[in-house]
Amino acid sequence: METQIIELEKKYWQGMENHNYEVVKELTRFPCIIAGKHGVQNVDEASFKKMFESGEGAKIKVINISGTETQMIGENAAVIAYLIELGIAGDEQKPPMKCACTSTWVKENENWVCVLHTEVELSQQ
């Protein structure tokens, strides 16, 4: 089960990297909660799509996912935390961004969906 959650998270990031809204939408429960450098937001589907489409110009590239920790909470809920390294496709001069992320996944109607995602950029050391 924990391996499945890791694979779902990777599929989500692959959807972001490929700018495939349908994949990302299929893996998200709306409204969802997002927390990061812009604060905390409770986001409905229309707002999420607008945010997703606003990032069209800068295509992210997932360089590495590491340090994965998962925990099942019963049969229908799981949390995952990991480190991710992201670059901007076509901009090799800008150093990759490193973030610590967490997601909460729940199983609804036999499908796993993300209900909460947090992301914080790690300070350069």
pLDDT (tens, 9 = 90+) of the chain, 125 residues, equals 789 999 999 999 999 999 999 999 999 999 999 999 889 999 999 999 998 988 765 688 999 999 999 999 999 999 999 999 999 877 667 888 999 999 999 999 999 999 999 999 998 75
Biggest CA pair distance of the chain? 45
Q: Which structural domain, as residue segments, surrounds residue 11? A: 4-121
Coil, helix or strand at residue 122? coil
Cis peptide before 31 (omega within 30 of 0): yes
Residue 57 is predicted with a pLDDT of 57
pTM to 2 decimal places: 0.90
In sign, the C-alpha dihedral spanning 26, 82, 98, 124 is positive
Q: What is the DSSP letter of 55?
A: T
Q: Is the Cβ–Cβ distance between 110 and 33 less than 8 Å?
A: no
Task: Kindly report the CATH number assigned to the domain that includes residue 23.
Answer: 3.10.450.50
Domain count across the chain:
1
Residue 56 is predicted with a pLDDT of 60
Residue 55 is predicted with a pLDDT of 72
Q: Where are the alpha helices (DSSP H) in 32-121?
A: 45-54
